[in-house]
């Protein structure tokens, strides 16, 4: 029941954000749209930004859970772009609001988690410090986030498939080369 209520509150906020900026949406608006009372909202979330963060963590993270290997990372990124495209109004509204940090945090967590899995796989059996692995994953995470944010800012016109194809061409083998450079010192 608790998860269902959270999903209903999330659906209500997303629906409101299709037409209204996040800053103009109140908890009263959210609970009215989904038919629960304010106390129910506060039982689950501290504020609208807490709900916003929960939406990003739960809706999209599950979609990429199985794509954290060198052979599948492109599918994980594609799923992320597809989520943003499918929820375009919601994501663009978040991007242009005070909630932008939730979108960026979500993207960072998704991307870093995916890339650290790839780096760990490629670095297996090699003498490379954990800090170096994190640095490599961080670098590529921020590059990916920058690409996605620029795409979102420009209106998300290019297809996710085209972006991932171009990204694949650009960085094919680069993570492995970066690891080798750290191994060599």
User: What is 60-184's CATH superfamily?
Assistant: Tetracycline Repressor, domain 2 (1.10.357.10)
pLDDT in tens, 126-136: 999 999 999 99
> What would the CATH number be for the domain defined by 2-46?
1.10.10.60
Residues 6+ apart with CB under 8 A from 30: 9, 12, 13, 16, 41, 48, 51
CB atoms inside a 10 Å sphere around CB 164: 20
Residue where the block lists tokens 């597809």: 82
Which of 8, 79, 19 lies closest to 41 in space, CA to CA?
8
- What is the token pair recorded at 99? 């909630």
Which of 25, 31, 46 lies closest to 93 in space, CA to CA?
25
Is the pLDDT confidence value at 1 over 60?
no
pLDDT in tens, 7-35: 999 999 999 998 888 889 999 999 999 99
Position 51 confidence tier, pLDDT thresholds 50, 70, 90: very high
Which of 139, 134, 133 lies closest to 182 in space, CA to CA?
133
Give the residue extent of every domain in the chain.
2-46, 60-184
- The most distant pair of C-alpha atoms in the chain lies apart, rounded to whole Å, by 61
């Amino acid at each position: 029941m608790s998860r269902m209520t959270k999903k209903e509150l999330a659906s209500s906020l997303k629906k409101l954000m299709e037409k209204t900026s996040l800053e103009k949406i109140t908890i009263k608006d959210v609970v009215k749209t989904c038919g629960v009372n304010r106390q129910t909202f506060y039982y689950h979330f501290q504020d609208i930004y807490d709900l916003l963060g929960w939406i990003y963590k739960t809706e999209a993270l599950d979609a990429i859970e199985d794509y954290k290997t060198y052979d599948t990372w492109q599918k994980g990124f594609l799923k992320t772009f597809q989520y943003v495209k499918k929820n375009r109004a919601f994501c663009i509204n978040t991007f242009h609001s005070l909630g932008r940090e939730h979108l960026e945090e979500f993207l960072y967590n998704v991307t870093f988690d995916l890339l650290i899995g790839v780096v760990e796989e490629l670095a297996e059996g090699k003498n490379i410090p954990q800090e170096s692995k994190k640095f490599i994953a961080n670098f590529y995470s921020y590059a990916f986030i920058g690409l996605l944010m620029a795409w979102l800012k420009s209106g998300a016109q290019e297809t996710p498939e085209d972006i991932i194809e171009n990204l694949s061409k650009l960085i094919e083998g680069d993570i492995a080369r970066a690891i080798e450079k750290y191994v060599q010192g």
